[in-house]
Amino acid sequence: MSAARAVGLLLGVVVDAAFGDPPNYHPVVAFGHLAAWAERTCYADRKLAGLIYTGALVGAAAAVGSLLERAAQGRAVRQTTVTVLATWVALGAATLAEEGAAMARALDAEDLDGARAQLPHLCGRDPASLDLAGVARASVESIAENTSDAVVAPLIWGALAGVPGLLAYRAVNTLDAMVGYRSPRHQHFGWAAARLDDLANLLPSRVTAALTTLCAPLVGGSPREAWQVWLRDAAAHPSPNAGQVEAAFAGALNVRLGGRTVYPHGTEQRPIMGHGHAPDADDLARGVQLSRTIGLAAAALAALATRI
C-alpha cells in the first residue's frame, strides 16, 4: 500500500501540472453544490447545526475515499490509479500558479481593471477597495496561504491517510471557504468548519513555512531572513496557520505584508509581517515560482513519508 500511495501521489502531482483542474466536471464543484444545498436545508444560527453539517459532509467525503481505497485493495495498479485521481482532484497547484502568473502580468502592465477582475480567482477580498499596490499585496498573501492549503496540505494528508485523507481534507477546506468566514450569517454556523480547517492545517502550514525557508535561495531570498521573520511575526496573525506561511513568504521574498484588509463582510487590520518593500509584480512572479518549488519539495516529502 505504501508504495502504491507514494507513486500515486507523485503521479497525481504530474497530472495536475500537465492538465490543471479537471476541465469539464470538477468533483470539488459538485461537492460545493451539495454543501450549498445542505446549508439551505439545515441552516440554523447555532454552532450545533454547523457541527452536524460539517461532520456529515466531511464524513461523507472520507467514506467515499475509504470505499474507493477498499475497492482497489490488493491490486497495486488500481490502488495507484485511485490515488492519482484523488490527488488530482484535491490539488490546486497548477491552477494557483496560473492565476498568480496572470495576476503578475496584469500588475506588470499596470492594468488596474484587469488586476481587480483577476483578484477573485485568488482570494475573497474586495477588489474595488484596492489599488495596484493593494492587489499585489493581497495576491502575494493569497499565493502564500494557498501554497499551504491547496498544495502542501493535500499531499501531507494523502501521505498520512491515503485517499480518505485527500478527499476529507479537500472537503474541510472547501467548507471553510464557503461558511467559515466570520460574517454575521456564519459566525456560529461556520464555527465548526473554520475550527476544523484550523486543526487540519496546523501541521501543513508549518511544513510549508519550513519548506519556504529552505527554498528561499531559489528565488533570490535568504533562508535566514525567512526563518527570522517566520519566528518573529507569525504568531501576531489572527489565523494560527495563515500567519505561518505569510510570514515565511514575506521573509523569503524580502517584502512587507499585512495591514488594512477589506473583505465583503468587513475590514480587518492585519499585523505587519516582514520589513522589506511593498510587493510588486516582480515579487508576485517570484512568489509563484517559490510556490511551485515548494510544491515539488512537498511531493517528495510526502512520498518519503509514506515509506516510514
Main-chain dihedrals φ then ψ at residue 287, nearest 5 degrees: -65, -40
- Retrieve residue 231's grid coordinates: 519566528
pLDDT of residue 116: 95
Nearest CA among 176, 100, 96, 177 for reference residue 135? 100
Helix (H) or strand (E) holding 267: strand 266-273
- Per-position DSSP letters for 150-211, written without gaps between them: IIIHHHHHHHHHHHHHHHHHHHHHHHHHHH-S--TTHHHHTHHHHHHHHHHTHHHHHHHHHH
What residue type is assigned to position 42 of the chain? C
Q: Is the pLDDT reported for residue 261 higher than 80? A: no
Mean of pLDDT values over 96-120: 95
The percentage of the chain sitting over the pLDDT mark of 70, rounded to a whole number, equals 97
Contacts made by residues 235-241, CB under 8 angstroms, sequence distance 24+: 236/271, 236/273, 237/270, 237/271, 237/273, 238/268, 238/270, 239/198, 240/198, 240/202, 240/205, 241/145, 241/148, 241/198, 241/201, 241/202, 241/204, 241/205
Q: What's the CA gap between 41 and 48, in Å, rounded?
A: 15
pLDDT of residue 263: 67
- Retrieve residue 226's grid coordinates: 525567512
Specify the residue for cell string 500511495: 5
- Per-position DSSP letters for 27-53, written without gaps between them: HHHHHHHHHHHHHHHH--SSHHHHHHH
Please, which pLDDT band fits residue 1 given cuts at 50, 70 and 90? Answer: low
- Retrieve residue 264's grid coordinates: 465583503
Q: Is the pLDDT reported for residue 9 higher than 80? A: yes
| pLDDT tens per residue across span 283-299 | 999 999 999 999 999 99
Strand partners, 263: 266
Mean of pLDDT values over 42-54: 96
pLDDT of residue 26: 84
- On whether the CB atoms of residues 249 and 287 are closer than 8 A, the answer is yes
Q: Which of 59-68, 72-81, 123-132, 215-224 has the lowest mean pLDDT?
A: 123-132
pLDDT of residue 270: 84
Q: How far is CA 196 from the centre of its chain?
A: 14
pLDDT of residue 112: 94
pLDDT of residue 264: 64
- On whether the CB atoms of residues 207 and 220 are closer than 8 A, the answer is no
Buried b (16+ CB within 10 A) or exposed e, 241-255: bbbbbbbbbbbbbbb
Cα dihedral 281/283/288/292 (nearest 10): 150
Strand partners, 260: 269
| pLDDT tens per residue across span 51-78 | 999 999 999 999 999 999 999 988 999 9
- Per-position DSSP letters for 211-249, written without gaps between them: HHHHHGGGGT--HHHHHHHHHHHGGGSSSTTHHHHHHHH
| pLDDT tens per residue across span 156-215 | 999 999 999 999 999 999 999 999 877 889 999 999 999 999 999 999 999 999 999 999
Mean of pLDDT values over 262-283: 84
Mean of pLDDT values over 207-236: 97
Q: Is the pLDDT reported for residue 265 higher than 80? A: no
Q: Is the pLDDT reported for residue 32 higher than 80? A: yes
Q: What's the CA gap between 35 and 50, in Å, rounded?
A: 12
Confidence (pTM) = 0.94
pLDDT of residue 25: 78
Mean pLDDT of the chain: 93
pLDDT of residue 223: 97
pLDDT of residue 24: 73
Between 157 and 262, where is the model more confident? 157
Q: Is the pLDDT reported for residue 308 higher than 70? A: no
Please, which pLDDT band fits residue 266 given cuts at 50, 70 and 90? Answer: low
Q: Is the pLDDT reported for residue 44 higher than 90? A: yes
